[in-house]
Amino acid sequence: MKVGILGSGDVAKALAVGFLKHGHNVVMGTRDPAKLADWLTQQRGARASSFAEAAKFGEVVVLAVKGTVALEALRAAGASNLAGKPVIDATNPIADAPPVNGVLKFFTNLDESLMERLQREFPDARFVKAFNSVGNPLMVNPQFKEGKPTMFICGNDEAAKQTVRRILDQFGWETADMGKAEAARAIEPLCMLWLIPGFLRNEWSHAFKLLRQE
Ligand SMILES: NC(=O)c1ccc[n+]([C@@H]2O[C@H](COP(=O)([O-])OP(=O)(O)OC[C@H]3O[C@@H](n4cnc5c(N)ncnc54)[C@H](OP(=O)(O)O)[C@@H]3O)[C@@H](O)[C@H]2O)c1
């Protein structure tokens, strides 16, 4: 697949490495492609360009920018370059404020997630929440003795979720589909929960798993 990744930070890089490992082609979108030049010398099959060029290139687009600027980055990518495509939304609506006893502050509330805001402004893009509730070093083929961890996803478009499910299969995750975009109200705060052991005890090597009784 051709994958356009909007972002140049740790998440964008970790997912790019994962897509390349599994044989996909990647264009990274950033305001400043030059800052990825060194990193790209180590990555065959990837290049850097603008947000718009990356989105245009992708059959699948990944949104991996700071939550406060997610709408801004999508506007720079251009609605027409996102229309009809699965957009994997890895962002979290983390406010510019310090955590309280290890608990982050969000700029959204429990009745409206960031992904719903993005979906409302870009109705033709097919947003799927994924990869937001685990640290970037564990995003691609993480190894746990208990088996595959669970990635909670949601989104309004079934075909887009099927595409993301196939990617998650390749990336070594079990997928738990939580339904439509509103489920992002519950999935985004999993990031808060995931980060608490990190902030309190410097523990960063866990992931969530959904257990089901036979
Ligand atoms: N870090 C993790 O392990 C982790 C795990 C799960 C989810 N997440 C979520 O994934 C997202 C990315 O996290 P990150 O840690 O990789 O990076 P980050 O530092 O949160 O974001 C970096 C990206 O934000 C973009 N950006 C900043 N200001 C901008 C603006 N005014 N307009 C457009 N773009 C702007 C930067 O674009 P330029 O390239 O143009 O500078 C850069 O690509 C966040 O929403 C985060 O909450 C992070």
3-state SS, residue 4: strand
For a mutational test of ligand 1's pocket, the pick from 5, 8, 11, i.e. the residue with the most ligand atoms closer than 8 A to its C-beta, is 11
The predicted pLDDT at position 140 comes to 98
Print burial letters for 134-170: b (CB count within 10 Å at least 16), e (below 16).
Answer: bbbebbbebeeeeebbbbbbbbbbeebbebbbebbee
Ligand 1 and 130: CB distance under 6 A: no
Ligand 1 and 114: CB distance under 6 A: no
Ligand 1 and 77: CB distance under 6 A: no
| Nearest CA-CA partner of 128 in 55, 62, 59 | 62
pLDDT tens-place values along the chain, 214 residues long: 999 999 999 999 999 999 999 999 999 999 999 999 999 999 999 999 999 999 999 999 999 999 999 999 999 999 999 999 999 999 999 999 999 999 999 999 999 999 999 999 999 999 999 999 999 999 999 999 999 999 999 999 999 999 999 999 999 999 999 999 999 999 999 999 999 999 999 999 999 999 999 8
| Ligand 1 centroid from CA 22, angstroms | 23
Write the residue with the smallest CA distance to atom 23 of ligand 1: 65
Write the residue with the smallest CA distance to atom 7 of ligand 1: 132
Ligand 1 and 75: CB distance under 6 A: no
The predicted pLDDT at position 131 comes to 98
Write the residue with the smallest CA distance to atom 24 of ligand 1: 65
Write the residue with the smallest CA distance to atom 27 of ligand 1: 66
Ligand 1 and 169: CB distance under 6 A: no
3-class SS shares of the chain: helix, strand, coil, % to 5 = 40, 20, 40
The predicted pLDDT at position 139 comes to 98
